[in-house]
Structure 1
Amino acid sequence: MEVARKALVAVAVLGGGAGVGSILFALVTPGELQKQSMLQEMPERDSRRRDEAVRTTELVMATLKDAAATKENVAWRRNWTVSGDGRSA
């Protein structure tokens, strides 16, 4: 009988904790209007930020292509946007 009582108490405590956690999660999650406003404020919505990210990606890809085409260790370059022969990427 003692084992059954301990098991019931353990189940009740765990169930209560899960219930409290679920209620807190439901209270903390943003509503639909708040989600929409957060999406509007995301940096990817800004065209300048988007263009900057595209340019950065282009530079990284150009550096990777250059690194694949040469035996030089491009990680040791001071300026990664300049290829080994002095041309800009």
Structure 2
Amino acid sequence: MDSLRKMLISVAMLGAGAGVGYALLVIVTPGERRKQEMLKEMPLQDPRSREEAARTQQLLLATLQEAATTQENVAWRKNWMVGGEGGAGGRSP
């Protein structure tokens, strides 16, 4: 009888803990409207940010392609936007 009582108390305590946890989760979780607002505020949702990221990606790929086709160490350039031939290449001081 005593073990049955302990088991019922344990089950009740676990159930109460789970109930409190679920209630806190429901309270803290944002609603659907707030979720949509948060998604709009995220980076790269703005067209300007997306264009800037795409341009950066293009520059990176162009630099990698040029580095693959030349013997020059492109990491030593002062200005990476300028080509290696007659540009601002060379070591930084």
Aligned to 1:76: 76
CA distance in 1, matches of 2:78, 2:24: 51
* Map 1:1-89 → 2, pairs under 5 A: 19=18, 24-85=24-85, 86=87
User: Could you tell me how far 1:82 is from its partner in structure 2?
Assistant: 1.0
Partner Cα separation in structure 2 for residue 62 and residue 42 of structure 1: 28
The superposition leaves residues 26-64 of structure 1 with CA deviations (integer Å, 9 ceiling, x where unpaired) of: 443322211101111223221111111111111011001
Higher helix share: 1
Identity of aligned residues (%): 57
TM-score for both structures, normalised by structure 1 = 0.63
Larger RCO, structures 1/2 (Cα 8 Å, 6+ apart): 1
Secondary structure of the residue aligned to 2:44 is helix
Q: Which runs of 5+ in 1 are unaligned?
A: 1-11
Gaps of 5+ in 2: 1-10, 88-93
Calculate the aligned-residue CA RMSD, in Å: 2.7
Moved more, 61-70 or 21-30: 21-30
Residue identity matched to 1:74: V
